[in-house]
């Protein structure tokens, strides 16, 4: 690798066009053919990109390999109430109560239209109008019951009074009907497959259908609140246009700052163009590979653009310097290719590793994101490491910009008008200052590590954490939580027994014991099980005498009471029971407490005939996801650091140089987790990728600086000289890209999509911290390890 300082006019005039590696000669001797091939690929993949679809898939967002999810998937067809993927529509009246002919008529119309939406699991949909919504009462003649809305309902005052009486005799107050009688729920379980087309459910289309119904029926007297996964996806899709505005703003900031640095329009536009081409290729390829963009992977194209801008700026900077010394654009492009291709290649391979390790996470959405991102980074090898130098070999840079760059470099190299920041950074190559800086960094690391131990896995807020607290969806979720006793955060425990044994005394008593213990757990608002239902029926058939609120050992009595209890709590073969715990929220701590209680109980009371299995319901699925994310977060960092270490070792062939590059990354990882604690951001599906990307992308800065340093040290320069040379050649652009990309993604903090805002804050922090680590900790570590010491 040739350093920029070693380039001279004589070298340019005597340049051997057959010099360089075989790869270099192949690329630049056939550069016109390469451009034609890339143009055709861009046109074709651009056309493919126009057909790319945006959707979400509930099953892809859960860890299907986790034992909890395996238990749920095995039993989901056995019990009605296990649905984790359902929506709840609260239809609210502004009149006195829901027992009004106009309200019930509107409720029926809404129920009918929702029933016809594609993807609705129609047999299990519930509302006041559903035939399965029934009342039960004890009369002098025994039990009596029927549908809550009777078949002869006609909207008269008498019919309305009958409906009210039936509601009060049902078990639906607090579940389907609000205790204040001001609203009622339409419960809509969803299928993952659209039965009309046989294709995966299109959540965007379903959300649009819900929105049409909402707009149609929301009036001065009726309002609708909708919660559930499909509603969250709908909100994310509606916010997508604003997300794209922030992407455009980030692109604009990167372009403007790069132009301000180079003062060359054509080279700036080429860097932007090549980065955009990588994104176009990426989008086209993922369509050809039958992937779809989802709310999480939609952020990946900008990350690819940002990485491309970083590497492209380094290539443009090197070519500008050589043209300023008198080289032709072709020679400048070839020399820059020689100097920086290997460093750029290793850096991009580290980026690929940063994304690829996400494949370790047993959640298909994250695995798809890893695949999509890895494809994008791999394409940058062609667009920004190869295509960009080839294009610049034709276009070059403006002579004015080249001379300006040369004058600045000559002044710095000669020590004339040497920037104070350079003088300050150069002090870090002196051992006394290096030791002081590293001691401060070590103390800070210890403190921030102690803070990072408090980082939570999972959601730290109620509602949908992907959205802002004041978003419409989270306002709807807050309404549901404060209005209904049975919240949408349902944790379901499954109890397996031998066939026909689910109503036996041992099974019901064990179920009853767990239900009682769960009620004592902070965060559990109410529970429902066959044991509790059997107790209530026993009181009912005993003239309301609460002395009979007990589970009797007599099997005939148990059979009698369980037959009259809700059949939604047991399956047809009577070998599976369900216990539902309705939680006040799905915060990480709440879920952890419930999981710990059930796990400890099952470990103590599981037998061959009664086995407690976790977990189903929306909260059970999220608990499993948190467990997978927690385990993967450490495994992921172990593998990404290991891969980066090996790649750096291959590049530098020096253990000291590898440690200089990797230790600052570890410092930034600790800082990032401490920042997450202070900002109240948990490690979850949306933020976990950032931790891996911070390492994979962050090492780019160290690679560009260290590659120049090691070449200079091996050619006989001292550490101070080598570091100063790296600052002049690649250091400026490291600062430029670090700050620019940090500011650009920092604008995401104002996004209406909360998880994009979280990612923006964390990425901006890691971009800037990794840049500072490469400039400050790297030379200090090099000094302490004695790199370049023998050459002083």
CB atoms under 10 Å from CB of 60, counted, come to: 18
3-state secondary structure 48-112: HHCCCCECCCCHHHCCCCCHHHHHHHHHCCCCHHHCCCEEEEEEEECCCCCCCHHHHHHHHHHHH
- List the strands of the sheet with 576-583, edge to edge: 524-528, 576-583, 490-496, 611-616
Burial code (b: 16+ CB inside 10 Å, e: under 16) for 588-620 equals bebbbbbbebbeebbeeeeeeebebbbbbbbbb
Q: Where are the beta strands (DSSP E) in 130-205?
A: 134-139, 142-147, 183-189
- List the strands of the sheet with 86-93, edge to edge: 183-189, 86-93, 222-228
3-state secondary structure 245-282: HHHHHHHHHHHHHHHHHHCCHHHHHHHHHHHHHHHHHH
In angstroms, the CA 523 to CA 489 distance is 10
Q: Where are the beta strands (DSSP E) in 256-372?
A: none
- Counted residue by residue, the chain has a size of 792
The widest CA-to-CA distance across the chain, in whole angstroms, is: 112
**pLDDT in the model for residue 780:** 92
- In angstroms, the Cα distances linking 365 to 297, 307, 412, 463, 783 are 8, 22, 49, 21, 44
Give ∠ CA 259-263-265 in degrees, rounded to 5: 65
Q: Cβ(445)–Cβ(665) under 8 Å?
A: no
Residues 6+ apart with CB under 8 A from 674: 448, 449, 451, 452, 455
Burial classification of residue 723, based on how many CB atoms lie within 10 Å of its CB (0-12 exposed, 13-18 middle, 19 or more buried) = buried
Question: Backbone dihedral region of 526: left (phi > 0), alpha (psi from -120 to 50 degrees) or beta?
Answer: beta
In angstroms, the CA 526 to CA 227 distance is 19
Burial code (b: 16+ CB inside 10 Å, e: under 16) for 279-290 equals bbbbbbbbbeee
Among candidate residues 31, 754, 29, the one with its CA nearest the CA of residue 387: 31
Among candidate residues 707, 422, 529, the one with its CA nearest the CA of residue 414: 422
pLDDT, averaged per 10 consecutive residues of the chain (792 residues), comes to 46 65 87 92 93 79 86 80 81 91 93 91 89 78 80 89 89 85 91 81 87 92 90 80 76 84 85 91 92 80 84 81 81 85 83 81 85 89 90 84 68 59 84 91 93 84 79 88 76 90 89 92 88 81 76 82 77 87 86 93 90 88 88 83 86 87 90 90 81 77 86 86 84 83 82 83 88 90 79 44
Q: What's the CA dihedral at 254, 255, 256, 260 to 10 degrees?
A: 100
Q: Which residues pair with 147 in a beta bridge?
A: 134
Burial code (b: 16+ CB inside 10 Å, e: under 16) for 127-146 equals bbbbeebbbbebeeeeeeee
pTM for this one?
Answer: 0.80
DSSP string, 526-545: EEE-HHHHHHHHHHHTTTT-
**pLDDT in the model for residue 140:** 67
Burial code (b: 16+ CB inside 10 Å, e: under 16) for 411-450 equals ebeeeeeeeeebeebbbbbeeebbeebbeebeeebeebee
DSSP 3-state of 202: coil
Angle formed by the axes of helices 617-652 and 588-605, to 10°? Answer: 110
3-state secondary structure 643-691: HHHHHHHHHHCCHHHHHHHHHHHHHHHHHHHHHHHHHCCCECCCCHHHH
Question: Backbone dihedral region of 423: left (phi > 0), alpha (psi from -120 to 50 degrees) or beta?
Answer: alpha
Q: Cβ(119)–Cβ(206) under 8 Å?
A: yes
Among candidate residues 252, 24, 342, 254, the one with its CA nearest the CA of residue 733: 254
CB atoms under 10 Å from CB of 189, counted, come to: 21
Q: Cβ(748)–Cβ(246) under 8 Å?
A: yes
């Amino acid at each position: 690798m040739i350093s920029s300082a070693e380039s001279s006019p004589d070298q340019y005039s005597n340049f051997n066009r057959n010099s360089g590696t075989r790869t270099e000669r192949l690329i630049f001797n056939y550069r016109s053919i390469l451009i034609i091939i890339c143009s055709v690929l861009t046109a074709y993949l651009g056309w493919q990109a126009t057909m790319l679809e945006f959707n979400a898939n509930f099953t892809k967002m859960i860890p299907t390999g986790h034992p909890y999810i395996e238990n749920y998937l095995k039993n989901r067809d056995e019990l009605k109430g296990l649905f984790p993927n359902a929506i709840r529509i609260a239809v609210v009246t502004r009149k006195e109560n829901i027992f009004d002919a106009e309200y019930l008529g509107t409720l029926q119309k809404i129920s009918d239209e929702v029933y016809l939406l594609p993807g609705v699991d129609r047999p299990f949909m519930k509302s006041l109008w559903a035939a399965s919504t029934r009342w039960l009462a004890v009369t002098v003649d025994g039990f009596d019951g029927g549908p809550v809305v009777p078949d002869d309902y006609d909207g008269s005052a008498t019919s309305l009074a009958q409906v009210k009486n039936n509601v009060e005799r049902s078990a639906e107050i607090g579940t389907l009907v609000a205790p204040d009688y001001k609203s009622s729920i339409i419960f809509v379980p969803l299928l993952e497959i659209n039965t009309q087309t046989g294709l995966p459910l299109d959540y965007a289309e379903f959300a649009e259908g819900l929105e049409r119904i909402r707009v149609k029926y929301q009036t001065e007297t009726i309002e609708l609140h909708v919660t559930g996964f499909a509603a969250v996806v709908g909100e994310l899709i509606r916010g997508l246009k604003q997300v794209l505005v922030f992407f455009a703003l980030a692109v604009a900031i990167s372009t403007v700052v790069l132009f301000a640095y180079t003062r060359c329009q054509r080279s700036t536009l080429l860097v932007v163009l090549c980065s955009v081409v990588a994104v176009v290729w990426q989008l086209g390829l993922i369509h050809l590979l039958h992937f779809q963009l989802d709310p999480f992977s939609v952020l990946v194209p900008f990350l690819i653009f940002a990485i491309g801008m970083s590497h492209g700026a380094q290539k443009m900077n090197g070519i500008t310097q050589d043209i300023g010394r008198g080289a032709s654009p072709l020679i400048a492009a070839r020399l820059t290719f020689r100097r920086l291709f290997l460093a750029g290649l290793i850096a991009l391979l580290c980026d690929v590793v940063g994304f690829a390790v996400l494949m370790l996470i047993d959640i298909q959405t994250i695995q798809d994101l890893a695949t999509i991102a890895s494809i994008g980074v791999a394409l940058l090898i062609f667009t920004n490491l190869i295509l960009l130098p080839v294009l610049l070999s034709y276009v070059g840079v403006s002579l004015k910009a080249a001379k300006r760059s040369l004058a600045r470099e000559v002044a710095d190299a000669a020590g004339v008008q040497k920037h104070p920041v350079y003088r300050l950074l150069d002090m870090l190559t002196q051992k006394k200052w290096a030791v002081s800086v590293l001691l401060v960094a070590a103390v800070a690391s210890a403190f921030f590590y102690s803070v990072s131990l408090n980082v939570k896995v999972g959601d730290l807020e109620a509602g949908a954490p992907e959205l802002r607290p004041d978003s419409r969806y989270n306002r709807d979720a807050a309404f549901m939580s404060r209005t209904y006793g049975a919240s949408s955060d349902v944790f379901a425990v499954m109890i397996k027994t031998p066939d026909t044994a689910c109503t036996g005394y041992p099974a019901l008593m064990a179920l009853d014991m767990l239900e009682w213990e769960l009620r004592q757990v902070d965060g559990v608002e109410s529970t429902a099980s066959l044991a509790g239902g059997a107790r209530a029926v026993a009181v009912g058939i005993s003239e309301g005498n609460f002395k009979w609120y007990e589970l009797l050992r007599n099997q005939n009595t148990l059979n009698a009471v369980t037959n009259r209890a809700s059949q939604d709590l047991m399956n047809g073969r009577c070998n599976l029971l369900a216990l539902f715990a309705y939680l006040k929220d799905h915060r990480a701590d709440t879920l952890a407490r419930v999981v710990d209680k059930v796990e400890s109980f099952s470990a103590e009371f599981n037998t061959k005939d009664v086995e407690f299995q976790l977990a189903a319901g929306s909260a059970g699925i999220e608990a499993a996801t948190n467990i997978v994310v927690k385990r993967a977060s450490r495994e992921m960092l172990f593998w990404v650091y290991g891969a980066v270490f090996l790649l750096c070792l291959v590049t530098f062939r020096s253990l000291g140089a590898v440690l200089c590059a990797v230790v600052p990354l570890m410092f930034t990882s600790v800082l990032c987790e401490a920042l997450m604690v202070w900002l109240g951001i948990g490690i979850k599906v949306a933020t976990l990728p950032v931790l891996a990307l911070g390492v994979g992308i962050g090492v780019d800065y160290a690679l560009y600086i260290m590659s120049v340093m090691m070449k200079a040290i091996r050619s006989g320069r001292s550490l101070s000289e080598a570091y100063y040379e790296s600052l002049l050649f690649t250091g400026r652009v490291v600062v430029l890209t670090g700050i620019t990309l940090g500011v650009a993604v920092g604008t995401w903090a104002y996004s209406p999509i909360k998880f994009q805002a979280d990612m923006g804050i964390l990425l901006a922090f890691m971009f800037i911290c990794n840049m500072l680590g490469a400039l400050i900790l790297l030379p200090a570590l090099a000094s302490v390890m004695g790199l370049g010491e023998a050459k002083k």
